[in-house]
């Protein structure tokens, strides 16, 4: 994961509701957040794309907007 994505995740969690205005909702994500049995969502991506990091940021933002706790981690090479 790029450092900028991790920093944005931290900023979103600190920034509160003001950050949610910039979110692009992910179609169908509400089914994830409403499922009480889901505790973890793992997201993988292929390095070099612009779409995957952008979708990941929107997914984190959407989770925060639904009151979910978000923890983002990356690999040492990312």
Asked if residues 25 and 58 have their Cβ atoms less than 8 Å apart, the reply is yes
Provide the residue ranges of all domains of the chain, joining segments of one domain with +: 3-65
- Greatest extent of the chain over all pairs of C-alpha atoms, in Å: 34
Nearest-angstrom CA–CA distance, 22 and 5: 15
Q: What is the pTM of this model?
A: 0.64
pLDDT tens profile 44-65: 777 778 888 888 889 988 888 8
Higher-pLDDT residue of 29 and 8 is: 29
Nearest-angstrom CA–CA distance, 35 and 33: 6
| Residue 62 CB burial class (10 angstroms; 0-12, 13-18, ≥19) | buried
């Amino acid at each position: 994961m790029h450092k900028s994505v991790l920093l944005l995740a931290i900023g979103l969690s600190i920034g509160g509701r003001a950050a949610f205005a910039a979110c692009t909702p992910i179609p169908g994500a509400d089914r994830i957040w409403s499922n009480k049995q889901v505790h973890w969502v793992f997201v993988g991506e292929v390095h070099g794309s612009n779409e995957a990091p952008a979708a990941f940021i929107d997914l984190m933002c959407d989770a925060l907007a639904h009151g979910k706790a978000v923890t983002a981690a990356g690999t040492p090479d990312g």
